[in-house]
Amino acid sequence: MQPGQMAYDRGITVFSPDGRLFQVEYAREAVKRGTTTVGVRFKDGVVLIIDKRVTSRLVEPSSIEKIFQIDEHIGCATSGLVADARVLVDYARVVAQINKVTYNEPITVEALVKKICDYKQTYTQYGGVRPFGTALLVAGVDDTGPHLFETDPSGALVEYKAGSIGSGRTVVMEIFEEKYKEGISMKEAVHLGLEALQKATEEEISDHAIEIATVTTKTSFEKLSPETTKKYLKEAGIIGKENKSE
């Protein structure tokens, strides 16, 4: 960092002379250091896939939670600081329930994502706080169809047909740009997501480190069982044929 930039580096509320908020940029770097997370929209819903990055055989994979249910029809996956993500998820759950009690109808996906991003944005504007070091892929279905949104530590949001956050985002997005097609089936979406995740992950993928969740017009939010996840991994050729006899 150049001399003279330190004051702007330390103050979240102060813009640098070239119009940058360094603390927000550092929060984005925290997201880039997180595990790769992908989301793919298909004909009747959205699929979320995460790599838990289990670093030790002593770790119980089930204790690592990076996919969360927000409401019956909305879920999200995170990359970055998971503790920060839990705070945002708790806030989003409260917002969804307040909307249901107040208006007697489920909140729309876009309205909820905007509420989350408004909350994240306030942590970039006031002294004494830091930005959330996490990004969320929010998937849901409502009266207007399936949606997949990406949220940024700055409070920005973008809707994608297929998106990714985390360390392997660049590789994943290149694959999606090349291979994603409108109106694909759930099976095709899962296979595409797994293929992109495999190419973006430097280490070998194991079935206990992968978690898949879907949000569809028929079943709402659902985390797939380990057996179903393993089946999809075999179909995609990610785990070896020798495991088929297990």
- The pTM score is 0.90
Nearest 5°: the CA angle 173, 171, 163 is 25
Residues near 137 by beta carbon (within 8 Å), at least 6 away in sequence: 37, 38, 39, 48, 76, 77, 78, 79, 148, 149, 150, 163, 164, 165
Q: CA-to-CA distance for 36 and 65, rounded, in angstroms?
A: 14
Please determine, for residue 243, whether its predicted confidence score (pLDDT) is greater than 50. Answer: no
Q: What is the pLDDT of residues 17-70, one digit of tens each?
A: 888 888 999 999 999 999 999 999 999 999 999 998 877 888 888 888 999 999
Which neighbouring-strand residues pair with 139? 75, 148
Q: CA-to-CA distance for 182 and 118, rounded, in angstroms?
A: 30
Please determine, for residue 4, whether its predicted confidence score (pLDDT) is greater than 70. Answer: no
The residue annotated as part of the active site, out of 35, 37, 124, 229, is: 35
- Position 13 scores a pLDDT of 79
Please determine, for residue 3, whether its predicted confidence score (pLDDT) is greater than 60. Answer: no
Closest CA to 56 of 203, 240, 213: 203
Q: Please report how many Cα atoms fall inside a 13 Å half-sphere around the Cα of residue 215, on the Cβ side.
A: 29
Q: Does domain 33-237 have CATH number 3.40.50.10320?
A: no
Closest CA to 185 of 40, 49, 88, 57: 40
Q: What is the pLDDT of residues 175-227, one digit of tens each?
A: 999 999 999 999 999 999 999 999 998 777 888 889 999 999 988 999 999 99
Q: What is the DSSP annotation of 170-194? A: HHHHHHHHHH--TT--HHHHHHHHH
Q: Please report how many Cα atoms fall inside a 13 Å half-sphere around the Cα of residue 134, on the Cβ side.
A: 22
Residues near 187 by beta carbon (within 8 Å), at least 6 away in sequence: 232, 235
- Position 240 scores a pLDDT of 65
- Position 89 scores a pLDDT of 98
Catalytic site includes residue 35: yes
The alpha helices in the chain, defined as continuous H runs, are 6-10, 22-32, 82-103, 109-122, 169-179, 186-200, 226-235
Order of strands, edge to edge, in the sheet holding 210-216? Answer: 162-165, 37-42, 45-51, 210-216, 220-223
* Domains in the chain: boundaries: 33-237
Q: CA-to-CA distance for 116 and 7, rounded, in angstroms?
A: 29
